[in-house]
Structure 1
């Protein structure tokens, strides 16, 4: 039988388990969260991995396993691959660093903070796959903006840009994303007011903000899923 055009995360896990025994769904999701792989989403909301996504994951796991490369170096190698440059093979990879490889923490623990990124507008276009006109429209609606006081774009800008490209397939454009932004701003205001009322909104309270934000995100996702599937 021919190989499926896309796979579920469980099917990807089964394929990769043959060569990487320690691979898990949590680690695959962690690598996705780091922006190293970006599977499509089926109309049902489930991740669908292409053969290119599987090959990308295999590359990441191989250089981690054989050369203990940190995610920062792996990301640089993947960017070269995306730019059409010569792939970095295991033999050409860098020697093992002194620090251990970053691994995903169990779901019940606080996930590791993502490293900040600073990319130019040109790099944002290349990494997101957006056209210049599409990015300009997002910028016009203040959905994607450079860091304050800078011309460089950060991780959130890249995340929104990639999501915008993928949502366009389902007929959602900048106007729809603007409604999502307005909802996010209302939630941010709610979090700020709640923490202020309980004396948690003060210098050094960033962890409380992060904790509440994560809880709100989980609740938001559950309520959205319930509204769609009910």
Structure 2
């Protein structure tokens, strides 16, 4: 059955008694045991349904002691067992139903790879994938997930000339072995769909430039963690990169929708 180790969040919870807490107060409690947690991380876990704080009439979050304990458990399962959020949520839901949940055996730190080399498959991959069957949607290694040129064209329903043009604009790049990863396949499909609406690769250069700037921002945040000697800290850098990438995509989508709404009024 899931057990909570004694830690900063537990001590802080007792001190906080049962009074509702702001997200800043929760952050201070959690940082005793989880020094690298951020407000962005707490909000991300909320968006993934791992915790559901109350809201004041003005929209401010108010967390209970039970919310803090729940967040502590989520962070502990990520840190100590490298479980993806999808699996953690399933376990928490089972606990809420009164079921007993057995923890997996000790896990070794995952192999540190570039966060954008692994197949997405599951947004819950904000947690680093580990070696086993509990990785994000059973993700395979990047090498195993690569496809050839013919497979990419078939997946995107595109012609060789189109792919050559996409590559000339840097929208898609083959790997050193000439194969393409899962992200390249996804990009090819999207670019092909946009082309059917009349958007050509030259129109998408601004989108690519924006994505590269966003990736640069993420790299600035996680670079100090990735240089750390502790394998768990480096693994945390990959989880943070995935989380920030998800948030950046959400922000980009929201900004585009907002801009369109203003233009189409």
Which interval holds the TM-score relative to the shorter structure?
A: 0.3 to 0.5
Q: Greater relative contact order (Cα 8 A, min sep 6): structure 1 or 2?
A: 2
Structure with max Cα Rg? 2
TM-score, scaled to structure 1: 0.48
